[in-house]
Amino acid sequence: MITCIRALFTALLLTCTSSLYFANSSAQAGDNASHRDSPFKGSGAEQRVSVKQIGSIPVEEIVTSARQSFSSLRAEIDIAEKSLYNTYNDLNDLDEYDVECRKTDWAGTFIREQMCWPAFLTEMSARNVQDWRRDLDILIPVDHLVLLYGDKMDALRANVRRVAGEYPDAAIALLEVGKLQAAMKRKHDECMAQKPVLLVFRLCK
């Protein structure tokens, strides 16, 4: 369950990062010319221009990050995610879309992993557990709640894009997480491409 939820949030952030890449590349040429002598000093308009001028992350940086061990890369992702959501929460004006990161072992494996949940998902999960204890509802796994309320996840994705599109600090933090997650995917793909030992195991570090 934890792996499924983490995968969903990884996909969410990669989608937001890709959208930011697209906004950067499509707006860069036109905005550099039209806003070169912009009169909007210290305004929201200037912030949006600054975000669009943030370049996308070079592939070389992803390749370099992917050379780390899985444990080191995972630790960097955890730190970058907490930094991203701390920045995002400070700038976000919709409380239900705030995101909190914490260590959890909900999978029952006694291995604590960092999970980052939006406030609305935490509330829905708590309400469902309460109703279940009162025999008012069945107990719904959190990953199923995520799928049931896909519209809320879409709204969260849109809100992350909005905040990143308005504030350079959030955009930079989002791109950093996107870079590290892309590096993790690249490292995983390279590992799976290796010839397995005894036709079963792959020795990946």
Domain boundary assignment for the chain: 2-191
Q: Tell whether the model's pLDDT for residue 50 goes beyond 60.
A: no
**pLDDT above 70 for 72:** yes
Q: What is the pTM of this model?
A: 0.71
Q: Going by C-beta distance under 8 Å and a sequence separation of 6 or more, which residues neighbour residue 102?
A: 114, 115
Average pLDDT over residues 28-53: 41
Task: Please provide the distance, in angstroms rounded to a whole number, between the alpha carbons at the two ends of the chain.
Answer: 24
* pLDDT higher than threshold 90 for residue 67: no
Which of 23-27, 37-41, 50-54, 58-62 bottoms out in mean pLDDT, i.e. has the lowest? Answer: 37-41
Token duo for residue 199: 């036709």
- Using pLDDT thresholds of 50, 70 and 90, give the confidence band for residue 16: low
pLDDT surpassing 50 at residue 37: no
Determine the distance from the C-alpha atom of residue 186 to the mean position of all C-alpha atoms in its chain, rounded to a whole number.
Answer: 17
Mean predicted confidence (pLDDT) in 68-77:
90
**Which of 52-56, 138-142, 168-172, 200-204 is predicted with the least confidence, judged by mean pLDDT?**
52-56
The DSSP letter of residue 141 is P
